[in-house]
């Protein structure tokens, strides 16, 4: 069991004030939950309807937060969007190479180009990962990262074959990035943060209307913009490394606004999804102190998760009383878990 007991649980309507107020600790690069009450109200309504199964699986958005048991403090959030391109187009730049040659002059040049594509319409996306800056580097965030994958493992039938994650690209504290200024601003005529918010609050038709239809030659961009292609922001680098360790890879797709890398994998090939187990609880031990360290959750769609020690047998597991209380399970209940 973790030194400070916690639960990772679904976001509910009672968390609205926290969702709105935590934005004061978030820099401008985090735009998936904007500081806008109308937008957050609609987002939270979708989340609650998702967990209640009141909307079709493709429309669902699942948000979880980490809550400390002893204090009730909420210290982080992480989410899953079932279908990245449901009702809207999910755009990326694909970074590819073309070769141009002149036989007469005996010259050949290889060029990188950016093409606007929509190749991940049906993919499931990891979204809205954030940990309170005061808690970073203290092992608060890693269970949140594991928890989303455990949830996906348990309910894989509700999600797409492909799992993706857009990693935040490089920008300064004001949300400015050389890639935006060189590639997108000439076509949009607005600030990066404004456009990023519009992608969350509109059907993204403005992107189709305004973005260039022809390939963009990388060689024509300023060097400072070229150097940001596929590069993660410093604060997003740990998340990138974690996901890459889980089997997601950079396959030359980038965000159209900040050039951050898009990572992808077949959901079935993700390490934790492959290695997780579903077993029945045979016993609950008050003094369990030795065993396997795991991320563990109940099997309700409104999944509650935590970390702890279990004793693993062929078809069953023994868990501690504390973990059982956090997960709200008893002897005979099933749990999904994975070693961490």
Residues annotated catalytic, as ranges:
233
CA 264 to chain centre: 11
d(CA 128, CA 44): 13
Q: Which region, left, alpha or beta, applies to residue 2 given φ > 0 means left and ψ of -120 to 50 means alpha?
A: beta
Measure CA of the first residue to CA of the last residue in the chain; give whole Å: 12
d(CA 246, CA 243): 5
Q: CB of 274 within 8 A of CB of 180?
A: no
Distances, alpha carbon 6 to alpha carbons 9, 67, 111, 232, in Å: 10, 6, 51, 29
Q: What are phi and psi of 141, to 5 degrees?
A: -80, -35
CA 328 to chain centre: 26
On the 0-12 / 13-18 / 19+ scale of CB atoms within 10 A, 28 is middle
Residue with tokens 């039938």: 157
**288 strand-pairing partners:** none
H helix or E strand, kind and range, residue 44: helix 37-51
d(CA 271, CA 275): 6
Residue with tokens 């991940």: 120
Distances, alpha carbon 186 to alpha carbons 28, 212, 224, in Å: 21, 10, 17
Q: CB of 142 within 8 A of CB of 288?
A: no
User: How many CA atoms, within 13 angstroms, populate the side-chain half-sphere of residue 259?
Assistant: 23
């Amino acid at each position: 069991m973790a030194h400070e007991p916690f639960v990772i649980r679904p976001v509910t309507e009672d968390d609205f004030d926290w969702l709105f107020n935590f934005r004061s600790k978030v820099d401008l690069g985090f735009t998936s939950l904007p500081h806008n009450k109308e937008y957050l109200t609609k987002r939270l309504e979708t989340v609650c309807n998702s967990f209640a199964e009141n909307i079709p699986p493709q429309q669902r958005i699942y948000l979880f937060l980490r809550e400390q048991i002893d204090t009730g403090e909420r210290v982080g959030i992480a989410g899953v969007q079932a279908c990245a391109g449901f009702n809207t187009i999910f755009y990326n730049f694909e970074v590819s190479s073309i070769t141009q040659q002149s036989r007469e002059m005996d010259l050949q040049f290889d060029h990188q180009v950016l093409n606007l594509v929509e190749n991940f319409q049906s993919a499931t996306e990891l979204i809205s990962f954030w940990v309170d800056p005061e808690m970073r580097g203290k092992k608060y965030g890693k269970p949140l990262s594991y928890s989303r994958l455990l949830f996906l493992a348990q309910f894989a039938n509700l999600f797409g074959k492909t799992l993706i994650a857009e990693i935040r690209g490089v920008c300064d504290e004001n949300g400015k990035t050389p890639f935006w200024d060189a590639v997108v601003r000439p076509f949009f005529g607005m600030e990066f943060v404004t456009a990023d918010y519009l992608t969350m609050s509109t059907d993204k038709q403005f992107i189709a209307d305004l973005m260039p239809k022809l390939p963009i030659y990388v060689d024509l961009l300023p060097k400072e913009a070229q150097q940001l292609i596929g590069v993660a922001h410093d604060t997003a680098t740990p998340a990138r490394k974690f996901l890459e360790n889980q089997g997601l890879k950079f396959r030359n797709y980038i965000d159209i606004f900040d050039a951050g890398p898009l990572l992808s994998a077949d959901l079935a090939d993700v390490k934790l999804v492959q290695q997780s187990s579903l077993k029945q609880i045979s016993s609950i031990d008050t003094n369990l102190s030795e065993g396997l360290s795991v991320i563990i959750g109940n099997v309700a769609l409104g999944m509650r998760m935590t970390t702890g020690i279990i004793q693993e047998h062929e078809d069953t597991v023994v868990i501690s009383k504390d973990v059982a209380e956090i997960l709200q399970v008893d002897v005979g209940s099933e749990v999904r878990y994975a070693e961490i």
